[in-house]
Structure 1
């Protein structure tokens, strides 16, 4: 029996999580996956009512789970950073979820804002380092509130942290090789026996200490994978080329901050935030991994029943992959693809008028078919 923690959270989080759980219940029965859920009341409403964000006792209960499904964190009534640092970053750091994994995949039937690009052109995987860089909270103020104020925010990068992230990216590239070679390789690359590509995204020409460490580690680890091509892009060039020629990217590995930025760009390429799933992974399984749609709490549409639930559904599929139930994960992705390929219900972000529940039901019906 697998224990799964559920944090519906804020805004549209409870709405989309409900649809993800309905899909999980169905595939669990179809594939014989036995699990139990424990729901956790965490988020803005609880904080405003009690002043609590995430207690040690709740953290211990979450640690007993194999995985966590998160809806969203963020509330307009709570100062910025309180919930994000107190819940999201605390879970990522305390549970050593050092990989943030974000697929960028354009499904047939979904429009991308890039002209003349289709599903064959947009299919990349971003491996974002998740426990270091500017997010560790090292810094402070001097003379705060005065004209001479100084604010410092320090990027922290360790060899161990960088290496485990880079190695994970190369391993993911090898797994993707099982689905066939990367179309972006040159004939010379293919003749040399290369099957996939990993691109390091950094800023080595300016961040000459931290990103020198990233580049040296990338080159050293990469030599252990002669079948994987090594590529490098400055982050600004990467953003430009993701728009102009997304087909040149296969697996991207990058820092915490840069990964945060380019994955939102990737979400737009794949049709919007409503389709963007993610996993915060503890690859060794020493603590639970956490899966979440990346669209946030979207307070402007909370309670209207029009949020796209597919990112939550696809996050459930990522969770099942992590829990070694790949058949159920694949079943969910096929159902989502079927719903998107047909002229069926779509939420307003995809140009339709359907509700969150109607799209969720369409996925369930596709699973039952």
Structure 2
């Protein structure tokens, strides 16, 4: 019996509503396998937890989470209760940095039954590899003075090691897909970090002569991603650029509620973390209409991570069968509830046993 220990953090808002269904999906998939079992340990880390304890997670929170094989995260944030920079850095980024999850991988494709923002007769299927540990989100800078003399400095830090790691992952991934890597840059406006990024991309690309390579400025690339998503295979980007591009790609699919993501610790020294692209969506909390596909597709990426690719592919096929049958939440043109979509997916998985 292959046992996978999951630290489950529903988080805030719709994350709390969706997560019970997503874990049921995983259990149904495990039953389909027969030799697989998920052990779920739930953690209440959230904005509500912050209000009660003054911190998003306890001082030994990372130690607790480290006892598991992976972290399955819902959504973080409730700006009415806790400022976003506190909730984000206190939980999500704390885990990413503490567990050296140096790559963020996000998948976007045209799902059957969901109308994308742009019609592509042949469909589209792309993955963004985002450097996840430094870049524009580096904790280097400061503030001095006040009033009209106030000065704020935010430094973007790029290391060759982290930049090359992201690019090699992207090229290796492209070898298993359509064989094309696009690099997101802005070297015509950001005069130090982005020319460096371009140089490393060119150098790493020389080791992959069979992979088609392309460099595009982030502004043009964002427009192309909306208008011509089918042209892309693997995109590699810095922390900020990758963050922006993946929200765009999720929206292009038809809803940000269906986008999945993985935060990878590439050397296996710490757990990786899997989370949907969407936020906590406080505007629809309690209405039962949050789309569960982002969290369930994230579960599919986690199955891939643990070497269960056949099960992962079966799960995504079932998700598309359900959406193609018209069982969808309102954000993608349906009338079904969170529970109805989830339970239909679970039912179809169980029918395969």
Which category of TM-score, normalised to the shorter sequence, fits these structures?
over 0.9
Q: CA deviation at 1:68?
A: 0.7
Structure-1 residue corresponding to 2:137: 135
Structure-1 residue corresponding to 2:11: 9
Q: CA deviation at 1:209?
A: 1.2
Q: Is 1:317 matched up with 2:321?
A: no
CA distance in 2, matches of 1:249, 1:159: 25
Structure-2 residue corresponding to 1:26: 28
**Pairing 1:128-167 to 2, within 5 Å after superposition:** 128-144=130-146, 146-167=147-168
SS at match of 2:24: helix
Match among 244, 257, 261 for residue 244 of structure 2: 261
Work out whether residues 273 and 295 of structure 1, in 8 Å CA contact, stay in contact via their aligned partners in 2: yes
**Pairing 1:1-369 to 2, within 5 Å after superposition:** 1-31=3-33, 32-75=35-78, 76-114=80-118, 116-118=119-121, 120-144=122-146, 146-176=147-177, 182=178, 196-343=179-326, 345-369=327-351
SS at match of 1:15: helix
CA distance in 2, matches of 1:243, 1:293: 20
Structure-2 residue corresponding to 1:189: none
SS at match of 2:235: strand
Q: Structure 1 length normalisation: TM-score?
A: 0.92
CA distance in 2, matches of 1:65, 1:310: 24
Q: Structure 2 length normalisation: TM-score?
A: 0.96
CA distance in 1, matches of 2:56, 2:346: 34
CA distance in 1, matches of 2:60, 2:117: 46
Structure 1 runs not aligned, ≥5 long: 177-181, 183-195
Q: CA deviation at 1:19?
A: 1.4
Work out whether residues 27 and 37 of structure 2, in 8 Å CA contact, stay in contact via their aligned partners in 1: no
CA distance in 1, matches of 2:170, 2:30: 29
CA distance in 2, matches of 1:90, 1:123: 31
Structure 2 runs not aligned, ≥5 long: none
Q: CA deviation at 1:349?
A: 0.5
| Residues 12-62 of structure 1: CA deviation (Å, up to 9, x unaligned) | 001111111110010111112123111111010010011122223221010
Q: CA deviation at 1:254?
A: 0.4
More divergent stretch after superposition (98-107 vs 239-248): 239-248
Work out whether residues 28 and 346 of structure 2, in 8 Å CA contact, stay in contact via their aligned partners in 1: yes
Q: CA deviation at 1:294?
A: 1.1
CA distance in 1, matches of 2:84, 2:64: 26
Work out whether residues 6 and 68 of structure 2, in 8 Å CA contact, stay in contact via their aligned partners in 1: yes
CA distance in 1, matches of 2:99, 2:194: 25
Q: CA deviation at 1:81?
A: 0.6
Q: CA deviation at 1:293?
A: 0.9
Work out whether residues 280 and 291 of structure 1, in 8 Å CA contact, stay in contact via their aligned partners in 2: yes
Aligned length: 347
